[in-house]
């Protein structure tokens, strides 16, 4: 498991160990808003482990104010799309030698509302929290479809999903302590619990029903079509090329 905060991660690891009876739960620390940290994460994993059978890309942020990463990139796009994009590329060869293997990308139904301004993906003009979030998820989906095609016949599958609205602490840093209490009370009634929200990720990661399925999108366990823009092959190529440039990987690495 990968986490940013060691204390919270250790608590989560202990909870998993107690619930599962499995003491072999390893923890790696990384800040996915930093590309150097993503590189270090991949390097550490490759040094420690010979196989990788399932990679679930689940990290995300939802920020009301435009924020820049240490790499001078807009935070939402960097964490929600570029970080999993980069990590997947860095671990791709290990996945290929570990077949059968699966990549599971946690997207969002928010992508249906998104249109990508190729000249301003960093949203220097007209930043909006929902717009930033939706665009990052559409970008992830576009690149996922392209990578799934590239991986056909390799023994590595790649599928995306919308977990639905899940009540977590994501986005709570946007409001003060008093507002947090009110928001949590309201949102906990509207959203599903994290364990229910994880069901589709677990289904795509483990179920024999989707062992040969790749390049698809599931909405709460149901196979669905995504937005028209997401199937645009030219747009897929453009976002892929831009993403490779932003994570500073050569195009021949694809």
Closest CA to 209 of 196, 219, 222: 222
Residue 127: phi, psi to the nearest 5? -65, 135
Cross-strand pairs, 157: 102
Distance CA 131, CA 135 (A): 6
Distance CA 63, CA 71 (A): 17
Distance CA 91, CA 97 (A): 10
Assigned token pair, 228: 């028209």
Catalytic one among 112, 127, 133, 217?
133
Would you call the peptide bond into 243 cis, given omega within 30 degrees of 0 as the criterion? no
Closest CA to 162 of 230, 95, 115: 230
133 is catalytic: yes
Annotated active-site positions, please?
133
């Amino acid at each position: 498991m990968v986490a940013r905060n060691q204390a919270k991660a250790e608590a989560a690891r202990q909870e998993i160990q107690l619930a599962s009876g499995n003491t072999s739960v390893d923890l790696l620390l990384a800040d996915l808003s930093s590309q150097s940290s993503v590189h270090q994460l991949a390097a550490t994993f490759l040094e420690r482990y010979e196989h990788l059978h399932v990679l679930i890309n689940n990290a995300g942020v939802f920020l009301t104010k435009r924020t820049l990463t240490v790499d001078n990139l807009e935070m939402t796009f960097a964490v929600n799309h570029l970080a999993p994009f980069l990590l997947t590329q860095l671990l791709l060869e290990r996945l290929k030698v570990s077949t059968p293997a699966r990549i599971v990308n946690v997207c969002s139904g928010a992508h249906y509302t998104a249109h990508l301004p190729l000249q301003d993906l960093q949203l220097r003009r007209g930043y909006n929290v929902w717009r930033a979030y939706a665009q990052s998820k559409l970008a992830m989906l576009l690149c996922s479809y392209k990578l799934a095609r590239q991986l056909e016949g390799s023994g590595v599958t790649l599928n995306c999903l919308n977990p639905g609205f899940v009540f977590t602490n994501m986005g709570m840093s946007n409001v003060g302590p008093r507002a947090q209490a009110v928001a949590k009370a309201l949102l906990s009634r509207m959203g599903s619990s994290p364990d229910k929200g994880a069901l589709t990720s677990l289904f795509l990661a483990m179920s024999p029903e989707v062992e040969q399925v790749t390049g698809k999108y599931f909405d709460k366990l149901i196979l669905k079509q995504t937005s028209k823009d997401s199937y645009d092959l030219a747009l897929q190529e453009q976002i892929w090329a831009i993403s490779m440039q932003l994570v500073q990987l050569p195009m021949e690495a694809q």
